[in-house]
Copies of this chain bind each other. A is one copy, B any other.
Amino acid sequence: MLNFSFQNPTKIVFGEGEISKLESLIPQGKRVLLTYGGGSIKQNGVYEQVVKALNGSDFIEFGGIEANPGYETLIKAVALVKQENIDFLLAVGGGSVIDGTKFIAAAAKVDDDPWGILTGKVKVTDALPLGAVLTLPATGSESNGNSVVTRRETQEKLPFSSPLVYPAFAILDPTTTYSLPMRQVSNGIVDAFVHVMEQYLTYPVNAPVQDGFSETLLKTLISEGPKALQNPEAYDIRANIMWAATMALNGLIGQGVPQDWATHMIGHELTALHGMDHAQTLAVLLPSVMAYKKESKRQKLIQYAENVWGLAGSDDDKIDGAILKTRQFFESLSVPTRLSDYQVGAGHIDALVAQLQAHGMVKLGERQDITIDDSRQILEMSL
């Protein structure tokens, strides 16, 4: 096991009806900015529950945070926060709303150009406190310090991390996910699955606790995912997916083990240039990364094949079988796994590779050995 340092301060409040506890979770006397996305919370009853639970607290709203939250949108919220003396942010939505709200929280405390937070030029040393009401299990953003923001003007999608932007609390009510479009449910399952894989499918360091936790999450998503599509209002299924997705990226399973994240980094460029859903990029790229790095991931691929998919046979059979099973799992959730399914062709690869280069993504993977040329080959394998 590798040395590590781990702290996750977010309070998780989980279960049906728990939105009613909002008032007690927000520190008294705060002026709150309620942030949300396209407005689905106004149709599915979540907005009503939130406003009722705020119980007359002082709040204003900022809606319209889009999927892959837009820098151009978020800086408007930053201006509003400063103008209205907001001192608490309440994100109600999925990972995009929460990621965007983390950026607002950090940018509100910065005098320089806030874009520097994403390019690394501005260090985050302070942030507004925030809480979250999660309505879409996927990114784990409700219980971590990560955020990814997209600047449409320059077609850039960049992440930042800070312990200062962990939500103080996250309310996870599985019933808020009943009305999600199936595409979002599927995407969320793929996203959580790949988060686990990025922290699991590397090389062994004798860490059975971490490996067993990761395998548990993968098996839960494999078992519960298809059921959620068939029975959208089955509480336990939704609850298990929601809890698995949070555990997939709250930091715990990745402690003391190597981490990959090549799939994510290459995927961000596909979203930025081609507008593919984040999960779609992962479903396309992960099988290619697995196949391309078959040798350096060999031991963990065999373990994954045995423990997650129950495969037998020769080691090579297990590895090929596990990659195929992974692809089939994504396809079974109606998330296609080829670039051609998204109208991305060989002619687009040069531009994608150029963006990776521009963003310094030149040494990816758990061994930092995926070069620009390797990323090109991974993209070519994904056509």
Q: Which residues of A contact B (CB under 8 A)?
A: 1-18, 206-209, 211-213, 215-217, 219-220, 223-224, 236, 239-240, 243-244, 247, 252, 255-256
Structural contact, A11 and B7, CB atoms closer than 8 A: yes
Residue contact A6 to B12, C-beta cutoff 8 Å: yes
Residues from chain B with a CB closer than 8 A to the CB of A216 are 208-209, 211-213, 215-216
Contact (Cβ within 8 A) B256 A14: yes
Is A6 in contact with B14, judged by CB distance below 8 angstroms?
Answer: yes
Residues of B within 8 A of A208 (CB): 216, 219-220, 223-224, 240
- Chain B residues with CB under 8 Å of A236's CB are 1, 206
- Chain B residues contacting A244 (CB-CB under 8 Å) are 209
What are 6 residue pairs bridging A and B, where the CB atoms are less than 8 Å apart in the complex? A1-B15, A2-B15, A3-B17, A206-B240, A212-B213, A213-B213
Q: Which residues of the other chain, B, contact A11 by a CB distance below 8 angstroms?
A: 5-7
Selected contact of A7 from candidates B12, B211, B256, CB within 8 Å: B12
Chain B contacts for A9, CB-based, 8 A: 7, 9
| Residues of chain B contacted by A6 (CB below 8 angstroms) | 11-12, 14
Q: Which of A2, A18, A208, A240 has the most CB of B within 10 A?
A: A208
Residues of chain B lying within 8 A (CB to CB) of residue A243: 1, 209, 256
A15 partner residues in chain B, CB cutoff 8 A:
1-4, 256
A193 CB, min distance to chain B CBs, angstroms = 14
Question: In the bound complex, how far is the Cα of B10 from the Cα of A208, in angstroms?
Answer: 22
Of A1, A215, A239, most B-chain CB atoms within 10 Å: A1
